[in-house]
A and B are shown apart, each in its own frame.
Chain A
């Protein structure tokens, strides 16, 4: 009879002990999970991550919708479009997106691009690590080119009360034909 009780109670006691231990482990385990996956807005440290500021509690998990737009100055015979309409990003983590351009004319053309960020006030928190817009681009007649943009949203955005209402940011590029001698 006593042995029967031991067989039942023993595992049950062990189960309780394990569950209590897991309770204490949950906080560090969750933190580990967030650090590995970036879930909940935890900035990923190391690797390609830029300098990371602490994300205030109120902004934990706050994501920004980044929309991409492409324009071509009239007179430049290029087709130019973003490969993705929008993505959702957490501040402090770098992202890589692509634009694509095609030269529809019969001659090689050198283009330069300008950009704007809307809302305008968010522009200074939009950092690019690498961008086709950093330099002139030449496309051969009829050829297409993929243009990468590697960027991150500066976590300093959380410290700026004027940014509290910002949930989506539009990045828009306009290509111009590079004028001779300019």
Chain B
């Protein structure tokens, strides 16, 4: 269920500004923000200490100063297959990658490669639901909603060998 009482903010990271929405249950939206963003002294409106910690861990990771953080999130209304794919993504350990076909096999639909790719593209919580760990079988890091260089950078931060 989406949260009703939300906070949000844009945070500057080494990979560019990141826009996040969060509530008591976790993140609802995490994405890179390519729209112009003027840096301000942000003292974000956290509803509790946990939320401040989540943002801190996310920033630490994106700035290359800490490991990938496993953080709570809430998923939106979506198709059962999208939910299955997103849950499967969170079981891929940091620093490892899977092909779209392997993720399709993980959820028991070995042929649904295109559907898996579409579900990855529709992921509302980038980084936290690690769609960046899914790569094409043909090699390379593959496409990413916010640019291939960012996907490559995220995998490098996690220490993935490609």
Contacts and interface: CB of A to CB of B under 8 A. Distances in A.
Interface of A: 48-51, 94, 112-117, 120-121, 123-124, 127-131, 133-136, 152, 156, 159-160, 162, 174, 182
B35 A114 contact: no
Given A115-B6, A123-B21, A135 B76 contact: no
A interface secondary structure, majority: mixed
Interface stretch (B26-34, B83-91, B127-135): B26-34
B44 A135 contact: yes
B151 to A, nearest CB: 15
Contacts of B3: 116
6 contacts: A114-B45, A116-B5, A120-B4, A129-B10, A134-B8, A174-B5
Interface residues of B, number: 34
A159 B122 CA distance: 9
Contacts of B36: 48, 129
A174 B21 CA distance: 16
A135 B7 contact: no
Contacts of A130: 10, 37-38, 40
A162 B75 CA distance: 13
B11 to A, nearest CB: 9
B2 interface: yes
Nearest to B48: A182
Contact of A160 (B33, B38, B122): B122
B161 interface: no
Given A50-B35, A129-B36, A114 B2 contact: no
B35 A94 contact: yes
B17 to A, nearest CB: 9
A124 B45 contact: no
Contacts of A182: 46
B40 A124 contact: no
Q: Ordered nearest first, which 3 A-B pairs have the shortest CB separation?
A: A50-B35, A112-B45, A120-B2
Given A129-B37, A160-B122, A174-B5, 15 more contacts: A48-B35, A114-B7, A114-B45, A115-B8, A123-B2, A123-B29, A124-B2, A124-B29, A127-B19, A127-B31, A127-B33, A129-B36, A133-B45, A134-B40, A135-B43
B45 A135 contact: yes
B9 A116 contact: no
Contacts of A49: 35
Contacts of A117: 6
Contacts of A174: 5
Contacts of B43: 135-136
